[in-house]
Amino acid sequence: MKKTLKNLLAPVLFLAVVLGIGFLPKEASLTAQAYPGSVLSSSIKQTGQTKTSLSISWSPSSNTAKYRVYIRDYSDYTSDYQLAGETTATSFTFNNLKASTEYNVRIQSVDAEGTANYGIGAYDLFTLPGSISGFKQQQWWYWIDTIDLSWDKLSGVDGYEVTLYNSKGKRVKRVKVSGYSSSASFRKVSKQVYTAKIRAYKKINGKTYYGSTAKTYCITQARIRSVKLAKKKLTIKWNKIPGATGYDIYVSTKKNSGYKKVKSVSAKTTSCTITKFNRKKLTKKKYYVYVETKKKVGKKTYKSNGLYAWPSNSSSYIYLS
């Protein structure tokens, strides 16, 4: 009887071994490998920033042993994602970045076997605004009392705050312009030396951050009151510009070219007499004159532009092309 039962069970045991049913140890059973889950894009948050760093965090994904974190400079359309590092945490800090820049990041989930998914991306991540270069007076339109300022545009800012101070240091005007702009104008200004300051700003997670301040000086060209050529002498008189530290006088025999500096005077002086031009005594020719206003700050000297000139035979100005 026992032999018969054994003979009957043999085929069943053989079938169970082949199919792996019930009788195999747990570690020998066949199981499907779970693919690493994706990090939810909506869970990626910017948690901190400086001018050169950016910190993020995210919610954990399933079946993940570690994360690979990539970054790209959004302002450089030709750039690709670069691996910044790996972490077992759900946060990461990127260093050695550029100020005033928008970055994109991508996070790959990697399982214990080293299998990684494609990676989820996140956008609108910013470093803090940095300093502004190229800030200068573009033009001072004397006859319409308007100053034009320009600067080198930054890529990752919301806008710029530009403030104008008079020659006594009092704030007189302030404007805010879009981050897409690289210029601003101030109208109804008086004839004096102004100080202009600019800083970029960016709103991140509900808080507005400002970059460092750049400064320049706005200087109007001095208006000539009279130019007289008599007895081989050219006498020039002009209006004083408050805040100036001096004036340079330029003369030419041509309307739009050939101007040469013939004299420099202090801020207290508002007239001068010229007896020679190009090392020669003056003749009865027509001469063109303009006065450039100067502002010396430390070792640097700021100057007005030479936009208008006055002929020696007329009391009206001409526009220099």
Work out the pLDDT band at 94, boundaries 50, 70, 90.
Answer: very high
Both tokens of residue 247?
């004036």
267 and 281 in contact (C-beta within 8 Å)? no
For residues 303-321, average pLDDT: 86
Residue 128 has pLDDT above 60, yes or no: yes
Count Cβ atoms within 10 A of the Cβ of residue 261 and give its class: 0-12 exposed, 13-18 middle, 19 or more buried: exposed
91 and 73 in contact (C-beta within 8 Å)? no
Give 95's contacts (C-beta < 8 A, 6+ positions apart).
Answer: 52, 53
For 49-87, what is each residue's pLDDT tens digit?
A: 999 999 999 999 999 999 999 999 998 878 899 999 999
Which amino acid makes up residue 160? Y
For residues 242-256, average pLDDT: 95
Both tokens of residue 100?
């005033």
115 and 85 in contact (C-beta within 8 Å)? no
Work out the pLDDT band at 11, boundaries 50, 70, 90.
Answer: low
Task: Give the pLDDT of residue 27.
Answer: 43
Residue 224 has pLDDT above 60, yes or no: yes
For 169-186, what is each residue's pLDDT tens digit?
A: 999 999 999 999 999 999
Task: Give the pLDDT of residue 315.
Answer: 74
Q: Cα–Cα distance between 103 and 127 in angstroms, integer? A: 8
228 and 271 in contact (C-beta within 8 Å)? no
For 267-295, what is each residue's pLDDT tens digit?
A: 999 999 999 998 889 987 899 999 999 99
Residue 161 has pLDDT above 50, yes or no: yes
- 161-166 contacts: CB < 8 A, separation 24 or more? 161/198, 161/199, 161/200, 161/201, 161/210, 162/196, 162/197, 162/198, 163/196, 163/197, 163/198, 164/189, 164/194, 164/195, 164/196, 164/218, 165/194, 165/195, 165/196, 165/197, 166/190, 166/192, 166/194, 166/243
For the chain, the first-to-last Cα distance in angstroms comes to 123
Q: Cα–Cα distance between 295 and 216 in angstroms, integer? A: 11
Task: Give the pLDDT of residue 313.
Answer: 81
- CA 131 from chain centre, in angstroms, equals 7
Q: What is the mean pLDDT of the chain?
A: 89
Alpha carbons within 13 angstroms on the beta-carbon side of residue 288 total: 17
Give percent of the chain with pLDDT exceeding 70: 89
Question: Got the DSSP string for 268-293?
Answer: T--EEEE-EETTEE--SS--EEEEEE
Work out the pLDDT band at 35, boundaries 50, 70, 90.
Answer: confident
